[in-house]
Amino acid sequence: MASESTYFRKGFGLKSEVQDTLTADYDGQLVDLLLARGHTLVAGPVTIRLAKEFGFCYGVERAVEYAYQTRAKFPDRRICLAGEIIHNPHVNAKLKEMGIVFLGASGKGFDYSSVQAEDVVILPAFGVTIHDFETLRGIGCVMVDTTCGSVLNVWKRVESYAKDGFTSLIHGKYYHEETRATASQVERFPGGTYLVVRDMAQAEDVMAYIEGTFAGGKAAFLEKYAHAASPHFDPDLHLQRIGVANQTTMLARESLAIGEAVGQAMARRHGASHRAEHFRTFDTICSATQDRQDAVNALLQEPLDVMLVVGGYNSSNTISLAALCAEKVRTFHIGDAAGIDTATGVVRHRDLKTGQEVETAAWMPMDRPVRIGLTAGASTPNNKIGETVARVFTTRGVDLASIV
């Protein structure tokens, strides 16, 4: 660990100094009104129902607050940020306005070539890889670590797997900052190994290999998953002992299903006693992610015409929320309120299948009363949620003055 004088994880005791700025930058009046009225706003032909849990989670609030505290603590120092603090373009834009320099990607980490010992580097809520941390420690700069506690819990699990000789099978996106940082934790122990699977379909490849039915054998498997596995990964050796973990923002039910299915595959191939000794799995989805997914599932029990999910297109937990909603109701994942054109009735949104931004006309019924469900990813501030509410009402010709 870096020396105490250059490594900070608990802020600088400046919360009161930055609170007014945070409130001005991110609070939303219409969200406050929704909360005061039982998560419901009704005006004219429009009813908006807000999920019980939505938007900024504790880990995100903490990371953003610590970034603001860092600027207040070091007003004259060059401050850098390893990637994005969270996956929300508006929050990151605010930090850039404060003069914080965003470091670009380099390989599986970030480019620290411009960082000097006198600089300050903020580590994002996703965390950074072991290599990144050691690089910064070598430079000798001040590090402000905002890594989410839920992410740290997964790291501990992966460390324990590596220590005991288990391969970490990680349900996540191999390119995501959090997953890269999590996977790197196996490097704490010689021979530590990981494999990242994106979804159940990829987990089924793992199960097929365990049971000897993967088409093409070892060479084909290594070719397909070389980008998502440790450099020395050997499926014949490293799929004998498996511990399941996950990126904290994935669909919880899928993570649990993958763990159970892989365990069953090992039992079919080697027997129940082998599974008991050579397989481990734990639910490492963060509570905030789970709470938002549960709240969406509860809201979807109501009659809704449309569901709006607000958040960055690269926000994994927001994508997961949109996928849940789309199973039950017509759903649009918008980056922010600007995606709703109040004049034309067109919505600009992320296509849930292709991931590309598209436009859809007549997204909301205009000839009858309408019920709109609303939620937001854990990195979406309240003001962006409130702006979305305003545009929904404006699209249907509702005077906002009549609401507030």
Q: Which residues are catalytic?
A: 178
**CA distance linking residue 184 with residue 203, whole number of Å:** 20
Tell me the two tokens of residue 339.
């995606």
Is the Cβ–Cβ distance between 56 and 381 less than 8 Å?
yes
Q: Give the contacts of 237 (CB within 8 A, at least 6 positions apart).
A: none
Is the Cβ–Cβ distance between 217 and 234 less than 8 Å?
no
Strands in 194-197's sheet, in edge-to-edge order, are 194-197, 167-171, 242-246, 279-281
**How many residues are given for the chain?**
404
**In the block, residue with structure tokens 């706003």:** 41
Helix orientation angle between 316-326 and 287-299, rounded to the nearest 10 degrees: 20
Tell me the two tokens of residue 11.
């802020």
Q: Give the contacts of 33 (CB within 8 A, at least 6 positions apart).
A: 41, 403, 404
Tell me the two tokens of residue 402.
């009549």
CA–CA distance from 346 to each of 304, 306, 349 (Å)? Answer: 19, 14, 10
**CA distance linking residue 353 with residue 256, whole number of Å:** 23
**CA distance linking residue 251 with residue 67, whole number of Å:** 28
Indicate left, alpha or beta for 276 from its phi (over 0: left) and psi (-120 to 50: alpha). Answer: alpha
Tell me which amino acid residue 361 is. Answer: A
Residue 109 DSSP class: E
**CA distance linking residue 94 with residue 79, whole number of Å:** 14
Question: Nearest-CA neighbor of 44 among 385, 339, 400?
Answer: 400
